Amino acid sequence: MKGVLTKAQERFSETAIDDEIVVMNLDTGDFFSLEGTARAAWLLIDGTRDLAAIITALAEQFGAPGDVVAADVELFVGELGRAGLVVSG
Per CB under 8 A, 9 contacts other proteins: no
Contact with other proteins (CB under 8 A): which of 24, 57, 83, 87?
A: 24
* Residue closer to other proteins, measured from CB, 29 or 63: 29
Per CB under 8 A, 35 contacts other proteins: yes
Contact with other proteins (CB under 8 A): which of 1, 6, 7, 20?
A: 20
Q: Assess contact for 1 and 85: CB atoms under 8 A.
A: no
Binding residues for other proteins, per CB under 8 A? 13, 15-20, 22, 24, 26, 29, 31, 33, 35
